[in-house]
Amino acid sequence: MSGFQTNSRVINWIEHRMPVFSFLDHSIGRGYPAPKNLSYMWNFGSLAGLALVIMIVTGIVLAMQYTPHVDYAFNSVERIMRDVNYGWLLRYVHMNGASFFFIVVYIHIFRGLYYGSYKAPRELLWMLGVVILLLMMATAFMGYVLPWGQMSFWGAKVITNLFSAVPFFGEGIVTWLWGDYSVDNPTLNRFFSLHYLLPFVIVAVVVLHIWALHQFGSSNPLGIETKGPQDKIPFHPYYTAKDAFGVGVFLVIFASAVFYFPNALGDPVNYVPADPLATPPHIVPEWYFLPFYAILRAIPDKLLGVVAMFASIGLLFVLPWLDRSPVRSGRFRPIFRIFFVLLLIDAVVLGIAGAKPPEGFWLIVGRLATAWYFFHFIIVLPLLGVFERPKPLPASISEPVLKGGGSPMGSGAGTTAKPMEKA
């Protein structure tokens, strides 16, 4: 099974006692064949891993300077910005790193949505991904509370209050979460503790995610299974090189944000120290929570609003069973494609509605967009699986490339299989 071989006696000595090198080779090396047609959309998994590492490394160093106490937290962050050597850099990387982590992960998720990466036999892989998303959201939320600015405090208050919607036990749960009658020092302390813990839980689930990935390997833009060695290339050096190029592009964009627009994605109100007796006129979460915040506010009932918000992510868990179409890739699903674009627009509209005050025009827009979101997953996807007529699939991954290269006319179409039409 393992094609791993080396002449190095040291490596062989270790390998014999603990087969770590063949494991690596089998995971990300020559021994891991991947479909040869992966596009740049398949770069975002490795980028998400990179973002996680950046967050953990900068976070560990920042924690050495930060003071988790309501009287000192805000000032300790300002001290990091002004007095600690390179503190401004560490904090800006950590702060923008969170945003870029979400950007990369959202692209990764929409890639999966378009190419049907959640379909059999990769359902568990997908569901582990949704678990990672939830853990990321919890981690990001608690991290945002730590600087103890106005948005930190009131964001914490509003989000923990979501649990008061739970029937009967709601108030008890919220008091337990706070450890106090309001968001206060006990809350800040436990959020710091959990904010440090959860990233390592994410690492553990990422390991499971990759484990599940390697069972069947990556999906691919055509969404058909690889038929044999002719459809695959070794992960190393081909995809390690391609991933490394993606890392380069990512770092250029990330560095531009960190060095030139470090506060573009943040809310200036969070540079005002927390005041438990004055709510800011307009509370908004960080941009990556806005679509979910819009769903929460769209429903004029406390419990149902909270239920809808959690359901919007819960739906992703059962997505493999909502979309029953046997064709994975959106390339061969003409109607699905249209609805996919609409969902993408819907997510953006939800994000904008979440940033606006919940009144008048934007409240209506938020409600319509919320309705469309659920309509898409609960009605459209199951019906498409039954009524949509997909385009013919190519016989293999190699076929479109080889056929396209051979015929001067058919090269543009790419995906249509001419022999099948004649047959």
Q: Which residues bind other proteins (CB under 8 A)?
A: 154, 157-162, 164, 175-182, 184, 186, 190, 276-279, 281-283, 297, 299-303, 305, 357-359, 363
Question: Is 71 assigned a catalytic role?
Answer: no
Q: Of 83 and 301, which has the nearer Cβ to other proteins? A: 301
Radius of gyration of the CA atoms of the chain, in A:
24
**SS3 state at 194:** helix
Question: Is 243 assigned a catalytic role?
Answer: yes
Q: Of 318 and 363, which has the nearer Cβ to other proteins? A: 363
In whole angstroms, how close is the CB of 102 to other proteins at the nearest point?
Answer: 23
Give the whole-angstrom CA distance, residue 245 versus residue 199.
26
Classify burial at 375, counting beta carbons within 10 Å of its beta carbon; exposed 0-12, middle 13-18, buried 19 or more: middle
Q: Of 2 and 193, which has the nearer Cβ to other proteins? A: 193
In whole angstroms, how close is the CB of 154 to other proteins at the nearest point?
Answer: 7
* Active-site annotation holder among 243, 267, 323, 346: 243
Residue 183: CA count within 13 A, CB half-sphere: 24
* Active-site annotation holder among 69, 214, 302, 391: 214
Question: Is 218 assigned a catalytic role?
Answer: yes
Give the whole-angstrom CA distance, residue 54 versus residue 145.
20
Q: Of 285 and 394, which has the nearer Cβ to other proteins? A: 285
Count of CB atoms situated within 10 Å of the CB of 245: 12
The structure tokens listed for 328 are: 């994975």
Q: Of 164 and 416, which has the nearer Cβ to other proteins? A: 164
* Active-site annotation holder among 242, 356, 376, 403: 242
Give the whole-angstrom CA distance, residue 399 versus residue 413.
13
* Active-site annotation holder among 15, 25, 231, 286: 286
The structure tokens listed for 307 are: 């239920």
Instruction: Find out whether the peptide bond into 237 is cis, omega within 30 degrees of 0.
Output: yes
Are 74 and 274 in contact, with CB atoms under 8 Å apart?
yes
Give the whole-angstrom CA distance, residue 50 versus residue 228.
31
Q: Of 278 and 383, which has the nearer Cβ to other proteins? A: 278
In whole angstroms, how close is the CB of 132 to other proteins at the nearest point?
Answer: 25
Give the whole-angstrom CA distance, residue 217 versus residue 222.
14
Q: Between helices 240-260 and 44-63, what is the axis angle to 10°?
A: 50
Identify the bridge partners of residue 149 per DSSP, sorted by sequence position: 273
In whole angstroms, how close is the CB of 286 to other proteins at the nearest point?
Answer: 16
CA distances from 189 to 132, 174, 178 (A): 23, 16, 10
In whole angstroms, how close is the CB of 265 to other proteins at the nearest point?
Answer: 21
In whole angstroms, how close is the CB of 183 to other proteins at the nearest point?
Answer: 8
* Active-site annotation holder among 117, 218, 219, 312: 218
Q: Of 158 and 203, which has the nearer Cβ to other proteins? A: 158
Identify the bridge partners of residue 35 per DSSP, sorted by sequence position: 232
Query: How far apart, in Å, do the first and last CA atoms of the chain sit?
Result: 40
Question: Is 214 assigned a catalytic role?
Answer: yes
In whole angstroms, how close is the CB of 272 to other proteins at the nearest point?
Answer: 15
Query: Which amino acids are annotated catalytic?
Result: 214, 218, 242-243, 286
